[in-house]
Amino acid sequence: MAYPVRTMINMDVAQVNGIDREAFPTQWPPPNYQRELQNHLAHYIVAYDDTRTLEETASRPDSLHSSLVSRIRHWLKIKPYPSKVSPSLPRQYIVGFAGIWIMADDAHITNLAVRKEYQRRSIGELLLLSIINLAGECKARIITLEVRASNVPAQNLYRKFGFVQVGVRHGYYLDNKEDAIIMSTDNIMSYSFQEHLQRLREALYVKGVAG
């Protein structure tokens, strides 16, 4: 099935935080995506499953607290305040996200993650393709990233999309002092790079992942 991709909005932050914690449980400090959405350098996208929704109520108390408040109001004969919160609305079920920072003609991939239950469905490829396209729309020419030295599957994904290793940041990750592999592309607007992206895009259409 196809997974639509769109720009991340504030409503997505809670789900994105959950995906981030699931994908990077030892990452410290944790990213502040609410703040990232206010950062003019940052650009984030999400992929979602349009066959599912996530019911959210912005300020719903937990059931124990709700029960206690109700009993206290009953004892004191206090009428509940009319709610100013809209009834719960269907939310798109976010299955993955990716982000970049754009600085002049350079783009840096900050995050790319997919829910565990949706992995091995080529959603990571779809997000990477989409974030590269977004970088091009923002006039970037080169894209860089860091990836854990032990994360061979991610490195293979990036190589598939034209990234090559250009360096190492020793002890980069704070949780265990693991090295980071620095990877970069050639000019993403070059004919050869765009031709390669088109082949990858067509493969995703054939798989039915890209709509």
The pLDDT of residue 29: 77
Number of domains in the chain: 1
- Which residues are tagged catalytic? 146, 158
pLDDT (tens digit per residue) in 10-69:
999 999 999 999 998 887 777 899 999 999 999 999 999 999 998 743 334 444 444 433
Note the Cα 155 to chain centre separation in Å.
Answer: 17
Q: How many Å apart are CA 148 and CA 146, to the nearest integer? A: 7
The pLDDT of residue 90: 65
CA distances from 112 to 16, 85, 146 (A): 11, 32, 11
Task: Identify the residue whose tokens are 């720009």.
Answer: 7
The pLDDT of residue 31: 87
Q: How many Å apart are CA 59 and CA 96, to the nearest integer? A: 24
The pLDDT of residue 194: 97
Domain span at residue 116? 5-207
The pLDDT of residue 7: 96
Mark the ranges of the chain whose per-residue pLDDT is less than 70: 56-90
Q: What are phi and psi of 180, to 5 degrees?
A: -110, 135
Report the candidate in 192, 47, 32 with the shortest Cα–Cα distance to residue 113.
Answer: 47
CA 210, 15, 6, 46 dihedral sign is: negative
CA 36, 42, 47, 48 dihedral sign is: positive
The pLDDT of residue 124: 97
CATH code of the domain in which 150 resides: 3.40.630.30
The pLDDT of residue 206: 94
Burial of 142 (0-12, 13-18, 19+ CB in 10 A): middle
Helix%, strand%, coil% for the chain, nearest 5 = 35, 30, 35
